[in-house]
């Protein structure tokens, strides 16, 4: 019998954290710029050196005042999003060229202007969605205008090393704390749809209007599919997907735009983020499960490395950026 042991593979989040520290030390970031934890150099930049987390320090302006708590960590998803998409925020021609490849059915033309924002909450959106606090913020947002009129929106949720698409605060596993006095209500999606103000803690206690929007005739999420799911399919695993898709539907209705697309952009090696702990509609793939409640084009799936290649192809001046990105995140 062989005495050899099968090597233990580190989880993606842990291996990427280690990789980011290795990259930083090899890329010339001084050890003095990194915090020490347990007397060892860590993967977190000191506050005064946080801009070293971006390809160009001036890109920090895109998130200034809206920084996540750990934006200075080398494994920050927020900085990952900026590093991937900031070249499109710099020039509308680049953004238009990239979106023409990514969204061929939308027919973007040379006359279209593309506006890009990070950590963006559309004006009026908190009221539309009933979000008195913790308003939905879009990791990356594109607005497409034609002859001064908004014709389309693209909402992008970016995932780097995260393990899921978040959970509703009203749901908790048995024995775990929840602000919801009766989490068992979350297990009857049909009852929630019929009377969300009575059967959904988010609607009743927080004033959220998600169910109201999903019940509208123009909603891209199907009530019949939600009922068939049994329990609320958004209580965990699909929560952020739902919030983004609901906001996309509202943007179409409220701005007069013709369309609004929602995309998930994730690191291709992060499989964990789309693996549901509990199946929805018999599916354990979060993207497929969400589409089963809506439609095939309700959420697009973008590979961050492929996105980088598409962006680089729009402008020869981006070759240094592409090389930096490959060395840091992908190769």
List, as one string, the DSSP characters of 269-327.
T--GGGEEEEEETTEEEHHHHHHHTS-TTSSEEEEHHHHHHHHHTT-GGGHHHHHHHII
How many Cβ atoms are within 10 Å of 67's Cβ, its own excluded? 15
Domain residues for the domain of 46 are: 12-167+236-330
Closest alpha carbon to 136 in 145, 125, 149, 152: 125
Q: Establish how many alpha carbons lie within 13 A of residue 322's alpha carbon, considering only the half-sphere containing its beta carbon.
A: 15
Q: Establish how many alpha carbons lie within 13 A of residue 215's alpha carbon, considering only the half-sphere containing its beta carbon.
A: 12
What average pLDDT does range 76-98 have in this prediction? 97
45 within a domain of the structure (yes/no): yes
259 within a domain of the structure (yes/no): yes
177 within a domain of the structure (yes/no): no
3-state secondary structure of 46: coil
What is the pLDDT, as a whole number, of residue 9? 81
User: Distance (Å, rounded) from C-alpha 244 to C-alpha 129?
Assistant: 11
pTM tops 0.75, yes or no: yes
What average pLDDT does range 126-149 have in this prediction? 95
User: Distance (Å, rounded) from C-alpha 285 to C-alpha 276?
Assistant: 6
Tokens of 165: 């698409």
User: Distance (Å, rounded) from C-alpha 88 to C-alpha 81?
Assistant: 12
What average pLDDT does range 321-329 have in this prediction? 98
User: Distance (Å, rounded) from C-alpha 291 to C-alpha 222?
Assistant: 10
Q: Over pLDDT 70: what percentage of the chain? A: 97
3-state secondary structure of 134: coil
199 within a domain of the structure (yes/no): no
Which of residues 11 and 6 earns the better pLDDT score? Answer: 11
Cα three-residue angle 305-308-314, rounded to 5 degrees: 150
212 within a domain of the structure (yes/no): no
What average pLDDT does range 199-212 have in this prediction? 96
7 within a domain of the structure (yes/no): no
Is 1 a residue whose pLDDT tops 50?
A: no
40 within a domain of the structure (yes/no): yes
Tokens of 33: 């710029």
Q: Which DSSP symbol is given to 229?
A: T
What average pLDDT does range 264-269 have in this prediction? 98
Number of domains the chain is built from: 1
Is 176 a residue whose pLDDT tops 80?
A: no
User: Distance (Å, rounded) from C-alpha 206 to C-alpha 136?
Assistant: 14
What average pLDDT does range 261-289 have in this prediction? 97
- Res. 4 pLDDT band, cuts 50 70 90: low
Q: Establish how many alpha carbons lie within 13 A of residue 111's alpha carbon, considering only the half-sphere containing its beta carbon.
A: 7
> Rounded to 5 degrees, what are φ and ψ at 50?
-60, -30
What average pLDDT does range 165-189 have in this prediction? 87
159 within a domain of the structure (yes/no): yes
The answer to whether the beta carbons of residues 71 and 53 sit under 8 Å apart is: yes
Closest alpha carbon to 235 in 263, 199, 195, 260: 199
Cα pseudo-dihedral 115, 124, 292, 269, rounded to 10 = 50
| Residue-wise pLDDT tens digits, 88-128 | 999 999 999 999 999 999 999 999 999 999 999 999 999 99
């Amino acid at each position: 019998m062989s005495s050899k042991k099968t090597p233990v593979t580190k989880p993606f989040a842990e291996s990427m954290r280690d990789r980011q520290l290795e990259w930083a030390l090899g890329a010339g970031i001084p050890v003095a710029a990194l915090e020490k934890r347990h007397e060892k150099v860590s993967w977190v930049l000191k506050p005064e050196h946080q801009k070293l987390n971006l390809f160009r320090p001036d890109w920090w302006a895109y998130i200034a005042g809206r920084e996540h708590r750990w934006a200075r960590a080398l494994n920050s998803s927020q900085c990952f999003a900026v590093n991937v998409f900031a070249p499109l925020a710099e020039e509308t021609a680049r953004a238009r060229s990239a979106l023409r490849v990514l969204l061929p059915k939308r027919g973007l033309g040379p006359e279209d202007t593309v506006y890009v924002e990070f950590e963006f909450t559309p004006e009026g959106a908190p009221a539309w969605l009933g979000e008195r606090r913790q308003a939905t913020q879009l990791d990356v947002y594109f607005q497409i205008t034609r002859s001064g009129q908004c014709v389309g929106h693209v909402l992008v949720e970016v995932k780097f090393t995260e393990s899921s698409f978040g959970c509703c605060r009203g749901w908790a596993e048995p024995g775990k704390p929840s602000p919801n006095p009766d989490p068992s209500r979350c297990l009857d999606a049909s009852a929630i749809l019929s009377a969300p103000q009575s059967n959904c803690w988010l609607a009743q206690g927080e004033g959220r209007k998600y169910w109201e929007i999903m019940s509208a005739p123009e909603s891209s999420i199907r009530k019949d599919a939600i009922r068939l799911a049994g329990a609320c399919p958004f209580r965990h695993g699909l929560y952020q997907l739902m919030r983004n898709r609901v906001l996309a539907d509202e943007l179409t209705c409220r701005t007069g735009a013709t369309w609004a697309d929602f995309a998930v952009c994730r690191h291709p090696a992060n499989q964990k983020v789309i693996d549901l702990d509990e199946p929805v509609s018999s599916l354990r793939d979060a993207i497929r499960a969400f589409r089963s409640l809506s439609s095939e084009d309700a959420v697009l799936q973008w590979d961050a490395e492929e996105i980088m290649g598409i962006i680089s192809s729009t402008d020869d001046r981006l070759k240094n950026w592409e090389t930096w990105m490959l060395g840091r995140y992908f190769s």
